[in-house]
Chain A
Amino acid sequence: ETGVTQTPRHLVMGMTNKKSLKCEQHLGHNAMYWYKQSAKKPLELMFVYSLEERVENNSVPSRFSPECPNSSHLFLHLHTLQPEDSALYLCASSQGQGRDEQYFGPGTRLTVT
């Protein structure tokens, strides 16, 4: 596969469940990002990893826990979520230098019941 992939594409979970979102990039990029996209709101940056080190945490509640085991993989661990956490979660990667445009995955549509 090429580009940025995300699994699962759709997820429905209860407030007491634990689940994980997975992102993989095949572009050789050094930086990876998690964004939340809700209806009628701008993309919200959640976390940034550069060379597997977390460099940004945008005041995200602790019920969201990121993990970056290597420069190609990024996870978002979810537990005890709230209904207002229902949204599209997008992963992105970038080179980490120069113009540094981001390449986005297709997203995971999360519904918390």
Chain B
Amino acid sequence: GQNIDQPTEMTATEGAIVQINCTYQTSGFNGLFWYQQHAGEAPTFLSYNVLDGLEEKGRFSSFLSRSKGYSYLLLKELQMKDSASYLCAVKNGVREGYQKVTFGTGTKLQVIP
């Protein structure tokens, strides 16, 4: 079966750095996504990792270790607008013409002044 674990809630201070962890157990791993979802809005794509290592994109970075079933999302220079839920999602298997993704429950991040 598929299992994805991430903390339910986190609080961090404006201007600081926060790391949101995600661990997973899955068969047929084929990549890991991070999505951001503001309250009442649609999830939006942040990052994708399929190989081990760090992917950096501006203030956001994402890391993957496939052997450990572990990923993290790193947010630097936090801003108030970063208050949102962050969803970890694992792509399962290889499919022709579409993908099947299992989502975690999401980590609700609150940025405080």
B103→A90 contact, CB < 8 A: no
B97 engages A40 (CB within 8 Å): no
Rounded to whole angstroms, the CA-CA distance of A99 and B103 in the bound complex is 16
Which residues of chain B come closer than 8 Å to A42, judged between CB atoms? 4, 87, 102-106
Bound CA span A48–B104, Å: 19
With a cutoff of 8 Å between Cβ atoms, the chain B residues found around residue A49 in the complex are 98
Chain A proximity mask over B69-110: 1 for CB below 8 Å, otherwise 0: 000000000000000000101010001111111111110000
Would you give the shortest CB distance from B41 to chain A, in whole angstroms? 7
B55, chain A: closest CB distance, angstroms: 11
| Alpha-carbon distance A106/B41, docked complex (angstroms) | 6
Which B residues lie within 8 Å of A100 (CB)? 91, 98-99
Q: Are A94's CB and B42's CB within 8 A? A: no
Tell me if A50 and B48 are in contact (CB < 8 A).
no
Counting contact residues on chain B (CB < 8 A from A), the size range is: 20 to 34
Give the docked Cα–Cα distance between A48 and B93 (Å): 15
Contacts A42-B105, A42-B106 given: A30-B98 contact, CB under 8 Å?
yes
Query: Complex Cα distance A92/B41, Å?
Result: 13
Judged by a CB distance under 8 angstroms, whether B19 is at the interface is no
> What chain A residues lie within 8 Å of B48 (beta carbons)?
99, 101
B-contacting residues, A37-58, CB 8 Å: 40-43, 45, 48-51, 55-56
Decide yes or no whether A107 CB sits under 8 A from chain B.
yes
Q: How far is the CB of B84 from chain A (nearest CB, A)?
A: 14
* Chain A residues with CB below 8 A from B106, complex form: 42
Inter-chain contact B99/A94, CB cutoff 8 Å: yes
> Does A81 touch B at the CB level, under 8 Å?
no
27 A–B contacts from the bound complex (CB under 8 Å): A4-B42, A30-B97, A42-B4, A42-B103, A42-B104, A43-B89, A45-B100, A48-B100, A49-B98, A55-B95, A56-B98, A56-B100, A90-B42, A90-B43, A94-B98, A96-B98, A99-B48, A100-B98, A101-B33, A102-B43, A102-B99, A104-B42, A104-B43, A104-B44, A105-B42, A106-B41, A106-B42
Identify the B interface with A (CB < 8 A): 4, 31, 33, 41-45, 48, 87, 89, 91, 95-106
